[in-house]
A and B are shown apart, each in its own frame.
Chain A
Amino acid sequence: MPTNSIQAITANRLSDGMVVYLTAQGQWSERIRDCQSADDPGMAEALIAQARQHAESGQIVGPYLFKIARQDGHPVPLGRREIIRTTGPSVGTDLNRSKPRE
């Protein structure tokens, strides 16, 4: 079992609803590998507070903490819901269903 105490912040971008992750620079990225991870509850608390400010100022909607693991140094989401949010719908690759719009 991977350690499950590591968390990161995700939200949806206000302008287009796309899944985004809070980065170490306080920016929002569509790529989970850019996410800032929080290894302890104190840091998680600080990150979510920052994210809520961004929600209030209208960049993003509905930020929350979710659990991640590190594989080969990269963050990977835990749980089906977050996996699907990261990779897109799992229902086939036609009609641009499973990849972000370029």
Chain B
Amino acid sequence: MYRYDEFDHAFVTERVAQFRAQVARRVSGELSEDEFKPLRLMNGLYLQLHAYMLRVAIPYGTLSALQLRKLAHIARSYDRGYGHFTTRQNIQYNWPKLGEVPDILAELGEVEMHAIQTSGNCIRNTTADPLAGVAADEIDDPRVYAEIIRQWSTLHPEFSFLPRKFKIAVTGAPNDRAVTRGHDIGLRMHRDDTGTPGFEVMVGGGQGRTPIMAKTIRSFLPVDHLLSYLEAILRVYNQLGRRDNIYKARIKILVQGVGVEAFAEMVEAEWRHIRDGALDLPAAERDRIAAYFAPPPYEDLSADCPALDGAIDADARFAAWVESNVHPHKRAGYAIATISLKPHGGIPGDASAAQMDAVADLSEEYGFGEIRISYKQNLILPDIPKADLHALWLALDSWGLATANAGRISDIIACPGLDYCNLANARSIPIAQRISERFADLARERAVGDLSLNISGCINACAHHHVANIGILGVDKKGTEFYQITLGGVADENAAVGAIIGPAFDEMQIADAVETIVDVYLQQRETDEPFIDTYQRIGPGPFKEKLYAPDQAR
């Protein structure tokens, strides 16, 4: 993985010192809250419902064991012993004190991490496929490019006061595990006719109150032009994006307004001026960064693993975990293990300091000391020998980290909602807890199969409910929480926005409504047909009919 050199260290150290001075000026009264707010946001510090919240970037979702232990240490020493992993490969601490935040940032700097640009109207943490480097379908490792983008975008002099936040996602594989079309810029790697890798550039995706999937403005961009092309897009947006209305300030509204062809032409025109210049990526620099992401020293293992087969036969709970939480690795004899942070009835994405330490230890014991953070708010151990899976699972189980539900209905993405968030209109977590308890029966959840269910507590859609098979949006109606359901959203390479099924349900009805939807699916599905295929085949009618039938108590 990427390692800071003296210059990266010097940069982050300067940033910490600057923020320490800014905090001091805020406390002394030299800075007003209005002046301080954009400064703290650029260091990931929010003021939420109960306290400050610090959002720390986990660039492209890759952590070393040392870094994860540091995150645990921060949770224990400066917070209340836990952290919350988000859909965009960040971790959030919910209770830091203002005066201690510079100390936290200094501790993060020690392990080559920071909170720079995890908030504010700037280029946010660039996200990537959590299976980068280990997925069998990969063309090239997207983390190389995510790191190059991280460096280019960090404290960019021209693009630190954009009309609105700006999110970039990169995938190096045809199967999209980074929701690239849901981002302001999505980059998807392809090869051209000569086998040269390059990016399909998609612009104008986003969720919020106007969910739009990004449109392709260039089908193939050679990788050495990546930064100049991004700079052209950002320059057009910085000048023309709306600044008079926060709800119309994202690039998606600009692209929609001028039309995708006209927008693409503006970008190309700007790019013609700046391409082949200082931002060109020399092959030597790309190779330098790529060397950091060289594969770990794998052993030559057999693809067959009798020990694993035996353990699966002997233990039904382990077999179920392997079925849902273990994925194929590009190397023979290795596997990718998802550690679910979604215990039934638990808080999606939360991990205690002790659990973080335990995962760090396990990553060293059974892998190469590396941990990934997924879009689904789960942790992933990317390099586990198949023969060690059972021992790993036993250890995870003792830490409450072996829930066999990755990709299943109780693998719920939920935002913090009204329990923590200043913007929320309704609670998300208690709804997730209630729904996941309904599907705690393993056999039942397996029968339902792969199904995504996301819950956002307001229209900002942090939990990406628009692209969930079942999306739930919390709304406030005269002081009472209601929950609106959308069906048919998809977050992968066929990304699609779900459609509202009908009137909202209240807090007591929403879990029943989800069960009704699942029942309709189970009745209507053909053999092995996943939920989304059934929905696309039969449409919303049968669901609507059952949900709003007169005999349903609403």
Contacts and interface: CB of A to CB of B under 8 A. Distances in A.
Interface of A: 12, 14-19, 55-58, 61-62, 78-81, 84-85, 88-92, 95-97, 101
B335 interface: no
B50 A89 contact: yes
A84 B419 contact: yes
Given A12-B51, A14-B98, A88-B50, 14 more contacts: A12-B47, A14-B27, A15-B99, A16-B97, A17-B50, A17-B98, A56-B32, A79-B479, A80-B427, A89-B419, A89-B429, A90-B419, A92-B433, A95-B80
22 contacts: A14-B26, A15-B97, A15-B99, A16-B98, A17-B47, A18-B51, A19-B50, A62-B47, A78-B479, A80-B427, A80-B480, A80-B481, A84-B418, A84-B427, A85-B49, A89-B420, A90-B430, A92-B433, A95-B80, A95-B352, A96-B80, A96-B81
A61 B32 CA distance: 10
Contact of B50 (A14, A85, A91): A85
Contact of A91 (B47, B98, B433): B433
Interface size class of B (residues with CB under 8 A): 20 to 34
B293 interface: no
Main secondary structure of the interface of B (DSSP, over half): mixed
Interface string B79-115: 0111000000000000101110000000000000000
Instruction: Specify which of A17, A55, A92 lies most central, judged by the most chain B CB atoms within 10 Å of its CB.
Output: A17
B52 interface: yes
B210 interface: no
Nearest to B32: A56
A57 B430 contact: no
A54 to B, nearest CB: 12
B257 interface: no
Contact of B80 (A81, A91, A92, A97): A97
Given A15-B99, A85-B49, A91 B347 contact: yes
Contacts of A55: 33
B64 interface: no
Given A62-B47, A89-B419, A17 B52 contact: yes
A97 B83 CA distance: 11
Nearest to A12: B47
Given A12-B47, A80-B481, A91-B433, A101 B418 contact: no
Contacts of B52: 16-17
A78 B95 CA distance: 24
Q: Which 10 A-B pairs have the closest CB atoms?
A: A89-B419, A17-B51, A17-B52, A96-B80, A16-B97, A91-B429, A58-B29, A95-B82, A79-B479, A91-B419
Nearest to A99: B80
A95 B81 contact: yes
Contact of A15 (B98, B352, B420): B98
